[in-house]
Amino acid sequence: MKRTLTKELLKWKNRPNRYPLLLRGARQVGKTYLIEDFGKSAFESFVSVNFESQPEALACFKSLNPDEILMRLQSILKKAIYPGKTLLFLDEIQICPQAIVALRYFKEKLPSLHVIGAGSLLEFTLIDGKFSFPVGRIEFMYLKPFSFQEYIDARAKKIKLEEIVNNSIDIDLHNNMIKLVREYFLIGGMPAVIASFCENLNIDEANRIHEILLATYKEDFRKYAKTNTQKYLKTILDGIFQMITKQFKYSKIDPHIQSRELKPALDHLEWAGLIYRIFASSASGFPLAAQIKKTRFKVLFLDIGIAQNELNPNSKILLENDLIQLNRGALAEQFVGQELLAYANPCRESHLFYWQREKRGSDAEIDYLYTVGNQIIPIEVKAGPRGRLKSLKQFMQEKKSPLGIQISQNYLSFEKNILSIPFYLISQLPKILERFL
């Protein structure tokens, strides 16, 4: 199953002034598989070290001298490492902070060697700050669950979304694409689930894997949280699915627990990559992040497939209803947010924002804010075939936006400065907007 991030990895490989790379992302999104596939296809040789399953490799980094490190690694792995020809992959690197420190010296003393580090709980080691992090000596990339385009590629549908934009969309193609969107709502973007579903098309089996993944995330709590925080992590995670894309309130999780107890647990879930916060921004200028209220935010879960299985565990209900309209459109907003994150710059940490009118008594709200150059474009998500555009028009008037976007099940169209985009074309937003801005 191919990932679009491979293109960025190839650019990294071929850059003359390349830095060692840290691949970041939540557990089970496919980091190890991606790097192994990349290493074996793009290099003459590939050498992998997993600090979890090969603890003897920890001793190789007692020295920070790259030549000594390579000599010791080659000795225990019984594999040769050739700078310029070999990709050295340091998996579960968070277990060996000295290996992270050593990346600086690979850059300074052995720049011809291609080195990538990755780890499922890497963020906690980076945040911990108990070692000298090599600032300015490494690069980052971020891997997320499969996007919708990656999903339909894995399903061997041979549909290229960029080609759809360039041609007229007939009713059969449109209906087929909406059907695939609904399927993605059900399956989601986790590699293990997609691999299973592509093989046997069994929804119950897909949901069984969703449950295993969620149980794995809960089991990880003990790896990165103290005992007194672990119970709050479970409380937050169990309650968060009902709050997807709603304004987050700790009292809605459990009215009997103080927010000061729950806040660290929410931070931990964010560091683990299991949730994303969508902050409210006044959208009065750039950057959007400078105009947020840190106490006003919504949350997205890592993956729509796991989320829908928690919200709608009855497969019969899922098969008989329009998934897009279930849960009052929460899954539709989750899908759009997940897609916007998937197509963001993979070399930077991604952020999402929404807008809520601050005037007392107003309920005007915009689901997402999208920036193009010096323009702030409002995005409204409509789960049903019809929907009011009051908030969209209010934002456009107040912020002088040239157009507004409605993402729904409807066809691609443009009328009265409202750009209607079907769910399946979110990846093509930049290309579509070129026509109208």
Domains annotated for the chain, with CATH where assigned, are 4-142 (3.40.50.300), 148-434 (no CATH)
Instruction: List the structure tokens of 309.
Output: 């299985």
> To the nearest whole number, what is the mean pLDDT of the chain?
91
pLDDT at 162: 83
pLDDT at 24: 95
Scored b (16 or more CB within 10 A) or e, 190-199 reads bbebbebbee
Q: What DSSP letter does each residue of 410-421 carry, written as one string? A: SPSEEETTEEEE
CA–CA–CA angle 407, 413, 415 (5° rounding): 100
Q: What DSSP letter does each residue of 272-290 carry, written as one string? A: TTSEEEEEEE--SSS-GGG
What does the pLDDT average to over 327-354?
Answer: 94
Taking the CA atoms of 304, 390, 369 and 179 in sequence, report the sign of the dihedral they define.
positive
354 closest CA partner among 248, 249, 279: 279
Distance CA(308)–CA(311), nearest Å, equals 5
Enter the DSSP assignment of 136: T
Percent of the chain with pLDDT over 90: 75
- Please report, as a single letter, which amino acid is at residue 275: I
Percent of the chain with pLDDT over 70: 95
pLDDT at 171: 92
Per-residue pLDDT tens digits for 235-293: 999 999 999 989 999 999 999 999 998 999 999 999 999 999 999 999 988 899 998 98
- Please report, as a single letter, which amino acid is at residue 70: L
pLDDT at 334 over 90: yes
Residue whose pair of structure tokens reads 């940490």 in the numeric block:
349
pLDDT at 41 over 70: yes
Per-residue pLDDT tens digits for 324-333: 676 778 999 9
